[in-house]
Structure 1
Amino acid sequence: MADFGNYHAGYMGIQAGVPESDQYMWAGLGELSKFHSNFLERIKQLDEGRAPYGDQPIDYLWNRQGMKDSKANLIQNPTIHGSNFAIYP
């Protein structure tokens, strides 16, 4: 079920106009709050901006796939200039 949640978060984040970098950062910060045994390595990933950005590797992969699929289905509405409003084809 976590796979679906991560995929959905990435997909809907793109649809809502949240940049990928912000989604990665917040997912990593969420994992940091769990104080895993490799806490310092996760902080280093976030600081250096490298995957999986402090997130669990499998969660990162599902989130990234959701973002990728979302971008493939996103159409910017040409009548709303500078907006993140999206519609489906």
Structure 2
Amino acid sequence: MALTKEVKKALVEKFARFPGDTGSPEVQVAILTHEINELNDHLQAHIHDFHSKRGLFMKIGRRRNLLKYLKETDAQRYTALINELGLRR
């Protein structure tokens, strides 16, 4: 369930704006989306895991704030990111 180094490196390389970029909103949202999807799968099988559910809600809130920031600063990057990640269907 934890994010492995290989998966994180692949996400960083895919969503980085320039080489060595690990902190841009796009990279952070991509990593959070991957973690959210894994927690969703976990909670499907373990319905009463309330501690993980709280962690999921915290990650969703963090992703929502990053997306809001990105939308306010650069709407074009925001649109490209949500299309690539498959958010906001």
- Bin the TM-score by the shorter chain: 0.3 to 0.5
Q: Which is richer in helix?
A: 2
Please tell me whether Structure 1 or Structure 2 has the larger radius of gyration of its CA atoms.
Answer: 1
TM-score of the superposed pair, with normalisation by structure 2: 0.38
The structure whose RCO (Cα within 8 Å, separation 6+) is larger is: 1
Q: Which is richer in strand?
A: 1
